[in-house]
């Protein structure tokens, strides 16, 4: 950071400290004349450089509140990176290309947009394709430039976070939406950045480090293909940039490991919360040539720190039948507190995983929360006494079960457990749960328990029945926990879901492996036309020509659309809905004679 920028930051920090002493502590350490002189100096520096920080005392803008967070689409998807816990993977990843090793900040990814030297938009990463507008809160951050000398369009990403010492100071005075104290700095940062009231965000001490440039700065030819070069220019514009070190093209694992250690020590010294490191190629052109998957960009890899394991006692396996018929095993163990949360259950993935751990009731196990989120059984400390705990019949319908073997990662075989009964109550229930989920038809307030009641009542046999529950009005009102008001709210929520999109509809159809990312790819290619998608699938269109769609996904699309029951559902359900892109009328007309156009 240049001396000019350092001077601006120094003046801002000093003046804010003096303001705090004067207004909050009533113990001023300098005279008004000294304060006024420094204030005038800061104004001159800001005028000369065009750089004004969000926490500058020269800014008298009020902090706004909004009634809700609007959604915003990201023209360039904000995807994540592949992950590893092995330093050797980082060395292998280089393949003869230089990279930057950066701190993996533990906060919330934020995108900033500048036009004409002014901040015009701030948003969260969200799901990568769609985030939430948080422009009103950016001025409440500690260190974001609201004005910069660069006058072109500039789009950058970075991390909003809370320094560890600030979290320790704040955590005992604040509670989350559940009324409980915040358990870590990441949760507090994420909640604060998404506050509706910027005055609340201001109190949370949010800092911002930039780590990537998405648009702009093309005129800096000497630095254009250098990530480190452009990041250094961002620093000249007043941004604080995520700390990084250069990794040479031929770096070995031990060299990278030493750099990781030094970077971790730096983060500790600077009080920065991190949960790993990020290795990303220094060349933008080489990065662009690597493309991306539906989940992550291929030009970088995240190195995750090992999760701390906690010892507890394994008690039993619970088996849960999902909508595909696969029966998932869940470990039940003595409650253990991890990262402030009580944990007593964790997925066991499949039979191969259980056998590999040699689990048996009463054995001591190590449990962690991977990425500080997902409970995971890491190890069995009492191996050598494996016990078969698989049920011979489905825990829901009582039909015989079967074991299925398939190829997993790196060619190894994986055993899974299945119920083949299409009438299994659990399978049917979970299909309706998926259909109503936020990422699918987004029927708010329709819980799994309510769906179970409606199925048992006989009101739900197919998805279309959801839109005709008025036929069972009296029976539903009489259900336990219901009444007229609950019924009206349910119907209103279901009717709201009638207005939907191509992506939500395709996700709701539950085509194997076709989730939101794949549905968005199909949406773009087929211009939001469900008819075009159907005809393409029936005509054996090669979906693998679309980036992000692989062989298995393409095969699944072909198989799904060649099922007459699926085609009937595809057409009849559209008649209940209204599509935001206006293609529903065309789709409805074309789908009327759908069965006649089905190809063998």
Instruction: Please give the positions annotated as active site.
Output: 104
The SS3 assignment for 250 reads: coil
Q: What is the DSSP string of 494-561?
A: HHHTTEE-HHHHHHHTT-TT--HHHHHHHHHHTTT-HHHHHHHHHTT--GGGSTT--HHHHHHHHHHH
Q: What is the largest CA-CA distance in the chain?
A: 88
- CA 479, 481, 485, 486 dihedral sign is negative
Q: d(Cα 115, Cα 146) in Å, to the nearest integer?
A: 11
Q: Which two tokens stand for residue 324?
A: 């595909």
Number of alpha carbons in the 13 Å side-chain half-sphere of residue 201: 29
Q: Which two tokens stand for residue 31?
A: 């005279």
Collect contacts of 575-578 with beta carbons under 8 A, ≥24 apart.
Answer: 576/464, 576/467, 576/498, 577/498, 577/499, 577/500, 577/505, 578/498, 578/499, 578/500
| Per-residue b or e along 30-50, where b marks 16 or more CB atoms closer than 10 Å to that residue's CB | beeeebeebbeebeebbeebb
Q: In this structure, are residues 418 and 325 in contact, taking their beta carbons and an 8 Å threshold?
A: yes
Strand partners, 292: 297
Q: In this structure, are residues 44 and 74 in contact, taking their beta carbons and an 8 Å threshold?
A: no
Q: Which two tokens stand for residue 107?
A: 């906060």
Angle, CA of 218, 219 and 223, to the nearest 5°:
75
Q: What is the DSSP string of 158-217?
A: EEEE--HHHHHHHTTT-B-TTSSBP-SHHHHHHHHHT-SBHHHHHHT--EEEEEEEEE--
Using the 8-state DSSP alphabet, how is residue 471 labeled?
Answer: G
Q: In this structure, are residues 272 and 163 in contact, taking their beta carbons and an 8 Å threshold?
A: yes
Nearest to 560 by CA among 524, 506, 523: 506
Q: Which two tokens stand for residue 414?
A: 């994986």
| Per-residue b or e along 542-575, where b marks 16 or more CB atoms closer than 10 Å to that residue's CB | ebeebebbeeebbebbbebbeeeeebeebbbbbe
Distance, CA of 330 to chain centre? 24
Residue 374, phi then psi, degrees to nearest 5: -100, 120
Nearest to 214 by CA among 111, 127, 317, 70: 111
Using the 8-state DSSP alphabet, how is residue 127 labeled?
Answer: T
Q: d(Cα 226, Cα 1) in Å, to the nearest integer?
A: 17
Q: d(Cα 364, Cα 101) in Å, to the nearest integer?
A: 38
Q: d(Cα 146, Cα 51) in Å, to the nearest integer?
A: 8
Q: Which two tokens stand for residue 258?
A: 């030493």
The SS3 assignment for 135 reads: helix
């Amino acid at each position: 950071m240049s001396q000019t920028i350092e001077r601006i930051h120094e003046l801002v920090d000093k003046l804010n400290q003096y303001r705090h002493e004067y207004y909050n502590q009533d113990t001023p350490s300098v005279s008004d004349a000294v304060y006024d002189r420094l204030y005038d100096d800061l104004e001159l520096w800001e005028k000369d450089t065009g750089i004004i920080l969000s926490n500058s005392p020269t800014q008298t803008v009020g902090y706004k509140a909004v009634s809700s967070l609007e959604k915003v689409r990201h023209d360039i998807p904000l995807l994540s990176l592949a992950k590893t816990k092995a330093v050797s993977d980082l060395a292998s990843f280089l393949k003869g290309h230089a990279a930057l090793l950066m701190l993996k900040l533990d906060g919330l990814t934020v995108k900033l947009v500048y036009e004409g030297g002014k901040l015009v938009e701030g948003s969260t990463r969200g799901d990568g394709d769609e985030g939430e507008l948080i422009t009103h809160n950016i001025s409440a951050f500690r260190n974001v430039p609201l004005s910069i000398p660069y006058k072109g369009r500039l789009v950058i990403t970075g991390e909003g976070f809370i320094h560890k010492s600030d979290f320790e100071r704040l955590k005992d005075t604040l509670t989350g939406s559940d009324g409980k104290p915040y358990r870590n700095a990441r949760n507090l940062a994420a909640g604060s950045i998404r506050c509706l009231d910027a005055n609340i965000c201001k109190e949370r001490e949010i800092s911002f480090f930039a780590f990537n440039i998405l648009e702009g700065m093309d005129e800096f030819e000497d630095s254009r293909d250098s990530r480190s070069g452009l990041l250094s220019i961002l620093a000249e514009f007043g941004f604080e940039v995520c700390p990084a070190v250069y990794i040479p093209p031929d770096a070995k694992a031990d060299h990278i490991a030493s750099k990781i250690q030094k970077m971790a020590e730096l983060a500790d010294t600077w009080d920065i919360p991190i949960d790993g490191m990020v290795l990303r190629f220094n060349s933008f052109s080489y990065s662009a040539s690597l493309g991306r998957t539906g989940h992550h960009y291929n030009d970088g890899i995240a190195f995750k720190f090992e999760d701390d394991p906690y010892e507890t006692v394994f008690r039993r396996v619970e088996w849960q039948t999902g909508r595909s018929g696969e029966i998932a095993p869940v470990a039940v163990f003595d409650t253990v507190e991890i990262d402030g949360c009580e944990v007593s259950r964790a997925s066991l993935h499949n039979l191969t995983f259980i056998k590999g751990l040699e689990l048996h009731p009463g054995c001591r196990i190590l449990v962690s929360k991977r990425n500080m989120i997902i409970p995971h059984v890491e190890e069995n400390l009492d191996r050598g006494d494996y016990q078969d705990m698989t049920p011979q019949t489905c825990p829901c319908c009582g039909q015989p079960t079967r074991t299925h073997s398939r190829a997993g990662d790196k060619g190894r075989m994986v055993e899974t457990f299945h119920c083949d009964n299409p009438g299994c109550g659990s399978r049917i229930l979970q299909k309706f749960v998926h259909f109503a989920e936020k990422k699918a038809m987004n029927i708010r307030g329709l819980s799994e328990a309510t769906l179970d009641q409606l199925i048992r009542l006989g009101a739900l046999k197919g998805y279309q029945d959801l839109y005709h529950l008025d036929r069972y009005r009296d029976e539903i009102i009489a259900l336990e926990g219901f009444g007229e008001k609950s019924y009206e709210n349910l119907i209103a929520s279901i009717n709201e879901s009638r207005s939907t999109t191509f992506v939500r509809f395709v996700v709701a159809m539950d085509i194997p492996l076709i989730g939101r990312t794949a549905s968005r790819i199909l949406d773009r290619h087929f211009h939001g036309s469900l008819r075009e998608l159907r005809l393409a699938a029936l005509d054996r269109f090669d979906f693998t020509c679309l980036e992000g769609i692989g062989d298995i996904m393409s095969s699944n699309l072909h198989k799904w659309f060649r099922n007459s029951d699926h085609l009937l559902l595809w057409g009849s359900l559209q008649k209940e809905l209204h599509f935001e892109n206006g293609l529903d009328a065309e789709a409805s007309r074309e789908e009327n004679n759908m069965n006649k156009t089905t190809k063998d």
